[in-house]
Amino acid sequence: MTAAPARVGDANATACATLVDEWIRCGVTHAVVAPGSRSTPMAIALASRAEIACHVVHDERVAGFVAIGLGLGGVPAVLLCTSGTAAANFSPAVVEAGLSDVPVIVATADRPPELRGIGAPQTIDQIELYGRSVRWFHDAEPPDDADPSSWRPLAQRVFSTARTGPVHLNLPFREPLLGVAGELPEPIGPPLPIPVGRATSGPVTGDLDRQRGVIVAGGRSGVDPAEVERLAGRLGWPVLADPSSGLRGAANSVTAFDSLLRHDDFARAHAPEVVIRVGRAPASKVLSQWTVASGAPVLQVGGPGVVDPDRNVAAFCTLDDLAPLSGAIDTPWMARWRHANDRAEAALEEALSGGPLSEPAVARLVAGHLADDAELVVASSMPVRDLEWFGGAAARAHANRGANGIDGVVSTALGRALAGRPTVALVGDIAFVHDSNALTALTTRSADLRIVVVDNDGGGIFSFLPQATSLGRQRFEQLFGTPHGTEIERIAGAHGVPGRTVDAAVDLVDAVTTPGPSVTRVVTDRDANVRLHDELHRAVGAVLR
């Protein structure tokens, strides 16, 4: 017997109000809603609660990365869309969140079972839509068929599981979609505990206890940087830290490692006997190749998922497992690294200060003038590398390095800004154009977002690859350089966001330190950029000799 329409609408409203109430009890404070009809019951439930900041984002792909930006704070945001391809457009963000252990509650509205597979409009197969990228998938019953006593346990399980990565909750609703929420089921007790981390191999001893070691520190480790710094101090080992590690300012931090390891004599003389890697691997391909060539076993501590890209991890460990290591105390090992790094950083500072606004100079200036209470989000192409290689000790940032894509960088930065932090985004022109929908309605939001666009009119990172010299100029530009001629300032202006082009360091610093929203463009040349990188690495090699 078909349920009465009024009862169906009220059941939709009551179920969604219960889920939202339980999520609030668990600690959820943000929701990202992409507009649509089928998601009406959940959208109204989210927008009706003052405890949740409800951010309406027109583009589902943008919305997904905004949720990532919010989730970087450690608490999942609810990410909601209507049925159909809207849910498919969440896929890039769900993949990134899955690979980076970013908490997100992905709630997709759907048609009820009787309308699936018969050609009903705006209906696709949403069952396990995101595959293994999510920690858990659940296709809920339509609320009028469900037992109300199951709603709060469902909300708790979704929240608890989402603490370690994205969870997909598929919500089928029958019409009518509007209704009045009735009395909510009683709370059932405290939220479920956060799941514990992965098992480890146990204490490290024996052949892995060697003097010449290094600590390679990347992002998303789940490990307290202060604990890593104390470990480095006890062992007397250098920390080769990327900007997302939180360890660039550590006492044993070596920030110019990429340039140092390009110098063959230094790389050979400082080959490690053991490597401790904390979190994911840094962007430097030179560092990865040096580690592999050394033959040193890698002890992996923390990180999103299984971090073993070179298949050389000897053990997955915790910091406590490393307590038996004796390290290189009372040897010159750390002093040699520190001396080389000091000389390299001095050479880079001399080469990059006072000259034109090159891409490495932009990264160094942005890092050096980022306020203590501000955050930096960088694109996973040349900006993250320039920050890692040339940003110095001040460099700190988040980058979506799970899938290493350029999509969603501005949106991720917007999510951080919506969380209440002044946020700078450092991106290339293609990453900016690719994610320019993040500017939609930006001036209406309470978001201090300052976007710096390095504009070389194309894919600058490809100029460093063999394609740039092996192919003819015309073919390279067609397939890899891909100049587009888009006017960055006009894109900003179309959204009412102040935009300008700068060519002096003082103006860039002003843009980075002035509250947004704003878009600041720096024009560079791809060929000149390749030559400059070579010059910087040669300058470091010269001081090492």
The count of C-alpha atoms lying within 13 angstroms of the C-alpha of 525, restricted to the half-sphere facing its C-beta, is 5
200 in a structural domain:
no
**pLDDT at position 176:** 95
Q: Environment class of residue 221 by beta-carbon count within 10 Å: exposed (0-12), middle (13-18) or buried (19+)?
A: buried
Distance in angstroms (rounded) separating the CA atoms of residues 490 and 41:
38
510 with 402, same domain: the answer is yes
Q: Which of 388, 456, 395 is nearest to 428 (CA)?
A: 456
252 with 316, same domain: the answer is yes
Tokens of 163: 């603490």
514 with 389, same domain: the answer is yes
Tokens of 442: 């930006």
166 with 216, same domain: the answer is no
Last residue of a domain, one of 172, 189, 219: 172
What is the number of helices (H) and of strands (E) in the chain? Answer: 20, 17
The answer for residues whose C-beta is within 8 angstroms of residue 84's C-beta and 6 or more apart is 122, 123, 124
Domains contained in the chain, number:
3
31 with 115, same domain: the answer is yes
326 with 359, same domain: the answer is no
Tokens of 218: 């990347």
The boundaries of the domain holding residue 120 are 5-172
8 A C-beta contact, residue 106 and residue 79: yes
**pLDDT at position 279:** 92
308 with 430, same domain: the answer is no
459 with 531, same domain: the answer is yes
Instruction: Find how far residue 492's CA is from the centre of its chain.
Output: 23
178 in a structural domain:
no
Last residue of a domain, one of 272, 306, 335: 335
**pLDDT at position 201:** 62
Torsion-angle region of residue 96: left (phi > 0), alpha (psi -120 to 50) or beta? alpha
216 with 276, same domain: the answer is yes
DSSP state letters, 217-237: E-S---S-HHHHHHHHHHHT-
The owner of tokens 């450690």 is 74
How many Cβ atoms are within 10 Å of 369's Cβ, its own excluded?
A: 17
358 in a structural domain:
yes
Bond prior to 176 in cis (omega within 30° of 0): yes
303 with 358, same domain: the answer is no
Q: Would you give per-residue pLDDT tens digits along the chain (545 residues)?
A: 456 676 999 999 999 999 999 999 999 999 999 999 999 999 999 999 999 999 999 999 999 999 999 999 999 999 999 999 999 999 999 999 999 999 999 999 999 988 888 888 888 899 999 999 999 999 999 999 888 999 999 999 999 999 999 999 999 999 999 999 999 999 987 665 554 444 456 677 677 778 899 999 999 888 999 999 999 999 999 999 999 999 999 999 999 999 999 999 999 999 999 999 999 999 999 999 999 999 999 999 988 877 888 888 888 989 999 998 888 888 999 999 999 999 999 999 999 988 889 999 999 999 999 999 999 999 998 999 999 999 999 999 999 998 888 889 999 999 999 999 999 999 999 999 999 999 999 999 999 999 999 999 998 888 888 898 898 899 988 999 899 999 999 999 999 999 999 999 999 999 999 999 999 999 999 999 999 999 999 999 999 98
180 in a structural domain:
no
**pLDDT at position 490:** 96
**pLDDT at position 496:** 97
| CA 213 to each of CA 272, 278, 331, 495: distance values in angstroms, whole numbers, following the listed order | 5, 13, 12, 51
How many Cβ atoms are within 10 Å of 515's Cβ, its own excluded?
A: 10
183 in a structural domain:
no
177 in a structural domain:
no
12 with 123, same domain: the answer is yes
**pLDDT at position 192:** 57
525 with 385, same domain: the answer is yes
Residue type at position 516: G
343 in a structural domain:
no
Question: What's the CATH code of the domain at 536?
Answer: 3.40.50.970
406 in a structural domain:
yes
Residue type at position 233: G
Distance in angstroms (rounded) separating the CA atoms of residues 262 and 294:
14
Residue type at position 544: L
**pLDDT at position 200:** 54
Last residue of a domain, one of 129, 147, 172: 172
SS3 265: helix
